[in-house]
Amino acid sequence: MLRRKAVRAASTALVGVLLSGCASSVYRLDGTYPGPAKVAQNDCEKRDWLVMAPTRYETVSERGVSTGHDDGAGVYAVGSKDPLPIPELEPRMGPDPLFLEHTQPVERANQKRWIAGGLGLAGITAITIGTIVFVNAFGTKQVPSETDPNRLEEEQDVSTGGVALGSILVGVGFGLGIGGLAVNPGTAESTEADTARYAFTPKTDDMKRVRSLVERHNEKVRERCRSGSADPLPE
């Protein structure tokens, strides 16, 4: 029972570490920003066409207060409501410094999550092993009966070394788990990374430049389809 409870508690902590940054705070709003190429006209164009649309994102203050903003823009596939990750757009839209500005916050948050996840996994392992060692330190042994030397009876046998080692391992495991929680990005950093991953914002980006990149990409898509090429643009 002790082992089951300890493993369950450690597992819950690890899941919290790994999933705390998974929920997206960015989503598409109604409308689009049509460029000179307007909309995709056929199936060939729809395959690679990009849509720039109004997008809601959030910011979190130092006090932990979340505020929604509707002045962002995201890039979407035709018919999709899910924004495309901005760091992954560069191969399709061409190199530009603005992609690096969105990549760095995402990479920092991801690195912290990987470290936190590793610490959490190590913590679960230590707690599991420590619990097993601790439980197995309590056993029984057969000794001659005090009333009848010819009869054997069981007596509790406690390994003090096993108890000590198991306790140490469990303590180390919880310490690693706490370390993982400390390293894991907080709400503000996770929200900032989420915004950087999916949304262009007027405070950090040249929105005209973003629209120009999308339009240039779509014009290339149209030219390719008009030429009869069956090869999709690089992704």
Higher per-residue pLDDT: 229 or 88: 88
Residue 70 above 90 pLDDT?
Answer: yes
Residue-wise pLDDT for 2-46, tens only, equals 445 545 554 554 555 444 444 468 999 998 887 666 788 899 999
Query: What pTM did the predictor assign?
Result: 0.69
Q: What is the mean pLDDT of residues 171-177?
A: 89
Q: Which residue has the tokens 């993982």?
A: 180
**Residue 155: per-residue pLDDT:** 73
**Residue 235: per-residue pLDDT:** 52
**CA 145, CA 148: separation in Å to the nearest integer?**
5
Residue 167 above 60 pLDDT?
Answer: yes
* Buried/exposed code over 112-136 (b: 16+ C-beta within 10 A; e: otherwise): bbeebbebbbbbbebbbbbbbbbbe
Provide, rounded to the nearest whole percent, the portion of the chain with pLDDT above 90. Answer: 36
User: Contact, 210 vs 73, CB < 8 A?
Assistant: yes
Name the token pair of 160. 């003090």
By three-state DSSP, how is residue 67 classified? strand
Residue 82 above 60 pLDDT?
Answer: yes
User: Contact, 72 vs 55, CB < 8 A?
Assistant: yes
Residue-wise pLDDT for 201-229, tens only, equals 999 899 999 999 999 999 999 999 998 76
Q: What is the mean pLDDT of residues 131-155?
A: 77
**CA 189, CA 59: separation in Å to the nearest integer?**
9
Report CA 233 to chain centroid distance, whole Å. Answer: 28
By three-state DSSP, how is residue 149 classified? coil
Q: What is the mean pLDDT of residues 54-61?
A: 92
User: Contact, 97 vs 86, CB < 8 A?
Assistant: no
Mean pLDDT of the chain: 83
**Residue 2: per-residue pLDDT:** 46
Residue 56 above 70 pLDDT?
Answer: yes
Name the token pair of 211. 């629209």
Provide, rounded to the nearest whole percent, the portion of the chain with pLDDT above 70. Answer: 83
Q: What is the mean pLDDT of residues 61-85?
A: 91
Amino acid identity for residue 133 in this structure: V
Torsion of CA 96, 186, 71, 65, to 10 degrees: -160
Name the token pair of 118. 């590793």
User: Which region among 8-12, 33-37, 127-131, 186-190 has the lowest average model confidence (pLDDT)?
Assistant: 8-12
Give Cα separations from 95 to 40, 86, 91, 98 (angstroms): 23, 12, 7, 9
